Every structure is written in structure tokens, then in C-alpha cells.
Amino acid sequence: MNALLLGLQQGYTKYCCFICEWDSRARSLHYSRKNWPARKSQEPGIMNVENQPLVEPSKILLPSMHFKLGLIKKLYKGLETKTSRLYFLREMFSRLSEAKLKEGIFIGTQIRELIKDEYFYTLLQGDEKAAWGNFKFVVKGFLGKRRIQNFEELVNNLL
């Protein structure tokens, strides 16, 4: 929907982010490069922009689900390979394809199931446990229907 409102090319694109000039085809840079240059203009014909934007990019708000999906993907990628945690996730989401599991792609209902499951929390160790606990607090206190008073502190702890 954001691409449609901002005049970006639909479908398989190289520069699909409306905020920055993230190169989606640069696979080698995806988890190593942290800062991508900000998108300076929305000129048709440049960086996958096809039409004039219908709204200003600064007026677009990202839904909380977008943040939640991104965070769970980062947490999943941080788990060590070939551990009981990954085997547990494969058993818990047995209908999920191997490709989606490998990339850490989960949907909202699966995230809610995982948050409710206490056994998964007992499998985590050290930094993983701390990150998962902070993720749960952020999901409940910041990304939910109501924000708690110290939501800034929760987000900073997670980061």
C-alpha cells in the first residue's frame, strides 16, 4: 500500500523502501551494512519511482505489526544454529516451510503463540533470554493497544 501511495514500482524491485535507498538485491550487505542512505527525492524514473507520490513520505505511519515482524526475524536470526531452540520452533510450527523457517518469517498468530509458550523461554540462555524478555515487554507495552508510561525505556532495553 505504501508503494502505491508513493508512486513506487509494484512487485520485484531493486529499491523498494520508501524511506531509504536500500538495495534489496545486495544480499551480501543485508545483515552487515547497518546504515543505508536516506531517500532524498521521489522523482519518477529514479530509484524505482514510477509516478508522482499521492502523499508525503513523512505522513506515512508504519503499523506496529511491521515492527513486530522485523524484531522477531532479528531475534530468530540471532539464535545459534542446530540447537534445541530451533528444533523446538520447527516442531511447534511444523506446517511452516523450511524456507520461511530459515529466514525467520513468522506471522502474528505464530508470534502470539510463541510469546505465550513458557517452555520456549526456558530453552533460551544468556543474551537470548534477555532479548526475548525485552521483546515480550515491547510487544505488550509498546506495540499493543495501550502504551505504558516507560515505553521509551522498554524500546531502549530491547535495542
Predicted confidence band of residue 66 (pLDDT cuts 50, 70, 90): low
Same-domain pairing of 89 and 138: yes
Which pLDDT value is given to residue 69? 75
**Spatial separation of the C-alpha atoms in residues 48 and 45, rounded to whole Å:** 6
Query: Are residues 41 and 76 both part of a single domain?
Result: no
39 and 73, same domain (yes or no): no
pLDDT 10s digits, 92-119: 888 888 888 877 888 888 888 888 888 9
Judgement on whether residues 55 and 127 belong to the same structural domain of the protein = no
Structural domain boundaries, residue 89: 64-158
Provide the number of structural domains found in the chain.
Answer: 2
Q: Do 47 and 103 have their domain in common? A: no
Among 17, 43, 61, residue at a domain's last position = 61
Shared domain check, 109 and 126: yes
Helix axes 127-141, 64-78, angle to 10 degrees: 170
Picking from 44, 61, 78, the residue at the C-terminal end of a domain is: 61
Instruction: Write the pLDDT tens digit of every residue in 124-158.
Output: 888 888 888 888 887 877 777 777 777 777 777 76
Q: What average pLDDT does the segment 12-38 reach?
A: 80
**pLDDT, tens digit (0-9, with 9 covering 90-100), for 31-57:** 788 788 888 878 888 888 888 888 887
- Do 52 and 87 contact (CB within 8 A), yes or no? no
Within 10 angstroms of residue 90's Cβ, the number of other Cβ atoms is: 12
Residues 52 and 128 in one domain: no
The reported pLDDT for the residue numbered 61 is 67
pLDDT at 87 over 80: yes
- The reply to whether 130 and 73 lie within a common domain is yes
How far apart are alpha carbons 32 and 49 in whole angstroms? 26
